[in-house]
Protein backbone atom coordinates (compact mmCIF):
# COMPACT_ATOMS: atom_id res chain seq x y z
CA UNK A 1 0.00 0.00 0.00
CA UNK A 2 1.28 3.41 -0.88
CA UNK A 3 0.13 6.68 0.68
CA UNK A 4 -0.94 9.26 -1.90
CA UNK A 5 -2.58 12.22 -0.14
CA UNK A 6 -4.67 13.39 2.80
CA UNK A 7 -8.29 12.24 2.66
CA UNK A 8 -9.48 15.85 2.91
CA UNK A 9 -7.51 16.71 -0.17
CA UNK A 10 -10.13 14.98 -2.35
CA UNK A 11 -13.33 16.96 -2.97
CA UNK A 12 -16.43 14.85 -2.26
CA UNK A 13 -17.79 13.69 -5.60
CA UNK A 14 -14.49 14.02 -7.50
CA UNK A 15 -11.30 12.14 -8.19
CA UNK A 16 -7.54 12.62 -8.17
CA UNK A 17 -4.77 10.82 -10.04
CA UNK A 18 -1.76 9.29 -8.32
CA UNK A 19 1.52 8.10 -9.78
CA UNK A 20 2.58 4.84 -8.12
CA UNK A 21 6.21 3.89 -7.61
CA UNK A 22 6.17 1.48 -10.54
CA UNK A 23 4.84 4.20 -12.85
CA UNK A 24 1.23 2.96 -12.76
CA UNK A 25 -1.38 5.72 -12.78
CA UNK A 26 -4.37 5.27 -10.49
CA UNK A 27 -7.57 7.30 -10.31
CA UNK A 28 -8.96 7.60 -6.79
CA UNK A 29 -12.52 8.83 -6.19
CA UNK A 30 -14.24 10.05 -3.07
CA UNK A 31 -18.01 9.80 -3.29
CA UNK A 32 -20.47 12.01 -1.46
CA UNK A 33 -20.88 9.36 1.26
CA UNK A 34 -17.06 9.52 1.77
CA UNK A 35 -16.55 6.03 0.32
CA UNK A 36 -13.36 5.62 -1.75
CA UNK A 37 -12.72 3.74 -4.98
CA UNK A 38 -9.56 3.32 -7.06
CA UNK A 39 -9.34 2.25 -10.70
CA UNK A 40 -6.79 2.57 -13.47
CA UNK A 41 -6.40 6.16 -14.69
CA UNK A 42 -6.07 5.01 -18.30
CA UNK A 43 -9.14 5.50 -20.50
CA UNK A 44 -9.04 2.26 -22.52
CA UNK A 45 -11.00 3.76 -25.40
CA UNK A 46 -8.78 6.78 -26.05
CA UNK A 47 -5.54 5.52 -24.48
CA UNK A 48 -5.16 8.67 -22.38
CA UNK A 49 -4.66 8.95 -18.61
CA UNK A 50 -7.77 10.94 -17.78
CA UNK A 51 -10.19 8.76 -15.79
CA UNK A 52 -9.58 10.68 -12.55
CA UNK A 53 -11.16 13.73 -14.20
CA UNK A 54 -14.46 11.96 -14.99
CA UNK A 55 -17.74 12.60 -13.21
CA UNK A 56 -18.94 10.06 -10.64
CA UNK A 57 -22.49 9.05 -9.87
CA UNK A 58 -24.60 5.94 -10.08
CA UNK A 59 -26.38 3.91 -12.71
CA UNK A 60 -29.22 1.89 -11.23
CA UNK A 61 -27.51 2.12 -7.85
CA UNK A 62 -24.09 0.91 -9.10
CA UNK A 63 -21.42 3.55 -8.38
CA UNK A 64 -19.83 4.67 -11.64
CA UNK A 65 -17.27 6.99 -13.16
CA UNK A 66 -17.80 8.38 -16.65
CA UNK A 67 -14.88 8.90 -19.02
CA UNK A 68 -14.38 12.62 -19.55
CA UNK A 69 -13.51 11.97 -23.21
CA UNK A 70 -16.26 9.86 -24.76
CA UNK A 71 -18.50 9.44 -21.69
CA UNK A 72 -18.51 5.63 -21.33
CA UNK A 73 -19.54 4.59 -17.81
CA UNK A 74 -17.42 2.20 -15.70
CA UNK A 75 -18.41 0.47 -12.47
CA UNK A 76 -16.24 1.73 -9.65
CA UNK A 77 -16.69 -1.61 -7.85
CA UNK A 78 -15.66 -4.00 -10.63
CA UNK A 79 -14.09 -1.69 -13.22
CA UNK A 80 -16.40 -3.16 -15.88
CA UNK A 81 -17.48 -0.81 -18.63
CA UNK A 82 -21.27 -0.65 -18.58
CA UNK A 83 -21.43 0.43 -22.21
CA UNK A 84 -19.09 -2.20 -23.68
CA UNK A 85 -18.80 -5.57 -21.97
CA UNK A 86 -15.44 -6.34 -23.59
CA UNK A 87 -13.71 -3.48 -21.79
CA UNK A 88 -12.84 -3.00 -18.12
CA UNK A 89 -10.64 -0.85 -15.92
CA UNK A 90 -8.19 -2.38 -13.54
CA UNK A 91 -9.38 -2.05 -9.91
CA UNK A 92 -7.04 -1.15 -7.06
CA UNK A 93 -7.29 -1.58 -3.31
CA UNK A 94 -7.79 1.68 -1.42
CA UNK A 95 -8.04 2.54 2.31
CA UNK A 96 -7.76 5.45 4.73
CA UNK A 97 -5.19 5.18 7.53
CA UNK A 98 -4.56 8.07 9.94
CA UNK A 99 -6.33 10.47 7.57
CA UNK A 100 -4.11 9.40 4.68
CA UNK A 101 -5.43 7.75 1.53
CA UNK A 102 -3.45 4.63 0.64
CA UNK A 103 -3.58 2.71 -2.62
CA UNK A 104 -2.28 -0.76 -3.29
CA UNK A 105 -1.97 -2.93 -6.33
CA UNK A 106 -4.74 -5.48 -6.33
CA UNK A 107 -2.62 -8.58 -6.83
CA UNK A 108 -5.42 -10.73 -8.27
CA UNK A 109 -6.39 -8.24 -10.91
CA UNK A 110 -2.76 -7.53 -11.60
CA UNK A 111 -2.04 -11.24 -12.07
CA UNK A 112 -4.81 -11.79 -14.56
CA UNK A 113 -4.10 -8.61 -16.49
Partner 1 sequence: MSKLVVIGDGMVGRRFLEAVTQRDPSWEVTVLCEEPRPAYDRVRLSAFFDGVSAEELSLASELPNVEVKLGEPAVSIARTSKVVYSDKGEYPYDKLVFATGSYAFVPPMEGADLEGVFVYRTIDDLEAIKAHSAGKRHGVVIGGGLLGLEAANALKLLGLETQIVEFAPWLMARQLDEAGGGILKQHIEKLGIGVDCGTGGTKIEAVDGRLRMETNREDIAYDTDLIIFAAGVRPRDQLARECGIEVGERGGIITDLSCATSDPDVYAIGEVAAMEGMCYGLVAPGYSMAEVVADRLAGGEATFPGADMSTKLKLLGVDVAQFGAMDGPLSTTYLDPAHGTYAKLILSDDAQTLLGGMLVGDAEAYPLLRASVGGKVPGKLADLLGGGEIEGSLPDGAQVCSCNAVTKGDIMSAIHEDGCSDVPALKACTKAGTSCGSCVPMLKQLLKEGGVEVSNAVCEHFTQSRAELFDIVKVTGITTFSELIARHGTGAGCDLCKPTVASILASLSNGHILEGEQASLQDTNDHFLANMQRNGTYSVVPRIPGGEITPDKLIVIGEVAKEFDLYTKITGGQRIDMFGARVEDLPKIWRKLVDAGFESGHAYGKALRTVKSCVGTDWCRYGVQDSVKMAIDLELRYRGLRSPHKLKSAVSGCARECAEARGKDFGIIATEHGWNLYVGGNGGFTPRHADLLLSDVDSETLVRTIDRFLMFYISTADRLQRTSKWVEGLEGGIDYLREVIVDDKLGICGELDALMEKHVENYADEWKGVIDDPEKLERFVSFVNAPEAPDPTIEFEEVRGQKFPAGTTARSHSTPVALGTPVSLRSQGK
For partner 1, the binding residues (CB under 8 A) are: 3-5, 9-14, 16-19, 23, 25, 28, 31-32, 46, 48-50, 53-61, 63-64, 66, 68-69, 71, 73
Q: How far is the CB of 43 from partner 1 (least distance, A)?
A: 8
Ramachandran region of residue 21, left (φ > 0), alpha (ψ -120 to 50) or beta? alpha
Helix (H) or strand (E) holding 3: strand 2-6
C-beta closer to partner 1: residue 77 or 108: 77
Q: How far is the CB of 4 from partner 1 (least distance, A)?
A: 4
C-beta closer to partner 1: residue 74 or 88: 74
Q: How far is the CB of 76 from partner 1 (least distance, A)?
A: 11
* CA–CA distances in Å: residue 91 to residues 45, 98, 111, 113: 17, 23, 12, 11
9: three-class secondary structure by DSSP: helix
Q: Which residues contact 35 (CB under 8 A, 6 or more apart)?
A: 63
Say if residues 9 and 96 touch (Cβ distance below 8 Å): no
C-beta closer to partner 1: residue 69 or 93: 69
Q: How far is the CB of 9 from partner 1 (least distance, A)?
A: 6
Amino acid sequence: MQSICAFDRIIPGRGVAALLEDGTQVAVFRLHDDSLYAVSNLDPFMDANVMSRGLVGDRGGEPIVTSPLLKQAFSLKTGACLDDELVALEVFAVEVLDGEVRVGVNSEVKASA
